Amino acid sequence: MHYLIISFTHKNTDISTREKLAFGSELEKESFLKKSVDCMYINEAVVLSTCNRVEVIVSTKDATRAKDTILKNFSSKSGLKFDELMSIADAYEDENAIFHLFSVASSIDSLVVGETQIAGQLKDAYKFAQSKGYCSLKLSRAINYSFKCAGVVRNETTLGTGSVSVSSTAVAKAKQIFTNPSEIEAVVVGAGEMSELCVKHLLKSGFKVILISRDIKKSTILASNIGGDIEVQPYSELETLLNTKQLLFTATSAPYPIIKKEMVYHCDEPRYWFDIAIPRDIEQIDIVGVSIFSVDDLKGIVDENMAFRAQKAKKAYKIVQEMTKTYFQWLNTLGVEPIIKGLFTKGDIIIDDKINDAIKKGYIESSQKENIDKLCHSILAKYLFETSKNLRILATKEESDTIFESVQNIFNIKIDEDTQDTNYKCNNS
């Protein structure tokens, strides 16, 4: 079994490419997962789709074939050519895959290092794949351990302290533009998690907020829960607000642009719009006085964030590196127990067969069976004690996989991992 991650992020793809690769609905995500797992060499799969990354995490029997299959599925879904996707995709295998997964969960691979959303997004992606039957033992182990790693990074580096997210970065950029935020009404379109974070950061920075979404009940509840200077407007007022307010943030889950060029008029005052949705909510608009910032346009502030958090990130990478090593050691210790159990089971079978055969041939009385059975099993336990101890020690060594495979072949021990306990719960990170 191999781990494989196919990754498209802000590091290797532009926003227009990520829009085509992103998953707009759970139905689309489920269809992609089914198509991937249906091939014979992919065992499990999880899809992670956020504003900065689209990644597929799989356990596979053949990493090369799995990569080709996933990229073909992406090509079919997005309309992008297979060769183009092959040239830009980052592919991580085995230890590199686990290191990358732990880095993502710990938010040190994010556009905004230390952002607080990614662990929750990974958790949601995992729960979804698990609930649909596409994620079981192998990926559950890795993903749950990634949450453990994220917790260690958070506690030992304080990387996640403070308000760090794409939303907070966008608001920080707005504060650079508007030096008197108390005089500015900021329009926020959407009532999801990104919008909620955006509203909180705006209020904290002193802006007044106008909240608008297609579901006015949802936006009203959100405004009530947050409190502060928030005015809720019906969605029918969107076009008016676009042309009367200087500052706008949009973060809906719409699969297509909701703000189109025909909705925008010329105004005397400059306008600054932050589109932090993937796919983007604002289509290409070229009107004088309208500045549109997408997720990728926030790089300036992100670079400042990186410089500020460089030392903490350096320590975080060391933790992730150590946790990756520890994970595989732990995985090997899990792998050795079925082998030890297999050795004992084979011994038990031989003992039972030989005792029964001896009784049939009259070598021993049937009344002696229980005592002889106890004696034989105590001898077996004594004989395998050192072997079991040494195998457990070997489980912490790098060469353990080769040794365990040899032991299985020598003693003809068959292990079916899929029969082991798969009742995993999503741990808090």
In angstroms, rounded to a whole number, what is the distance separating the alpha carbons of residues 47 and 31? 11
Which residues of the chain, if any, have pLDDT below 50? 418-429
pLDDT at position 383: 93
* Tokens 């949009």 -> residue: 250
Q: 166-307 has which CATH code?
A: 3.40.50.720
Pick from 117, 125, 156, 114: nearest CA to 44: 125
In angstroms, rounded to a whole number, what is the distance separating the alpha carbons of residues 73 and 308? 39
Terminal-residue alpha carbon distance, the chain = 26
DSSP secondary structure letter of residue 259: B
Phi, psi at 42, each rounded to 5°: -110, 120
pLDDT at position 230: 93
Put the strands of the sheet holding 271-275 in their side by side order: 230-233, 208-212, 185-189, 247-250, 271-275, 290-294
Strands 208-212 and 230-233: parallel
- How remote is the C-alpha of 123 from its chain's centroid? 6
* Tokens 């079991």 -> residue: 388
pLDDT at position 421: 42
DSSP secondary structure letter of residue 208: E
pLDDT at position 301: 66
Give the tokens for residue 118.
Answer: 């990614």
**Inter-CA distances, 189 with 35, 115, 259, Å:** 34, 21, 10
DSSP letters of 91-155? EEEHHHHHHHHHHHHTTSSSSSTT-SSHHHHHHHHHHHHHHTTS--HHHHHHHHHHHHHHHHHHH
DSSP secondary structure letter of residue 396: T
**Contact predicate 150/106, CB 8 Å:** yes
**Inter-CA distances, 313 with 151, 160, 246, 305, 308, Å:** 14, 11, 36, 11, 10
Tally of residues, the chain: 429
Q: Where are the domains of the chain?
A: 2-162, 166-307, 330-414
pLDDT at position 429: 39
Architecture of domain 2-162: 2-Layer Sandwich (3.30)
**Contact predicate 71/89, CB 8 Å:** yes
Q: Is 51 a catalytic residue?
A: yes
DSSP letters of 30-97? HHHHHHHHTSTTEEEEEEEE-SSEEEEEEEES-HHHHHHHHHHHHHHHH---HHHHHHH-EEEEHHHH
Q: Which of 51, 135, 149, 198 is catalytic?
A: 51
CB atoms within 10 A of CB 103: 23
pLDDT at position 404: 81
| Residues β-bridged to residue 291 | 272
pLDDT at position 424: 41
* Tokens 């997005």 -> residue: 78
Burial class (CB in 10 A: 0-12, 13-18, 19+), 390: exposed
Burial class (CB in 10 A: 0-12, 13-18, 19+), 38: exposed
Give the tokens for residue 410.
Answer: 């020598």
Give the tokens for residue 155.
Answer: 């506690």
Give the tokens for residue 337.
Answer: 């127990």
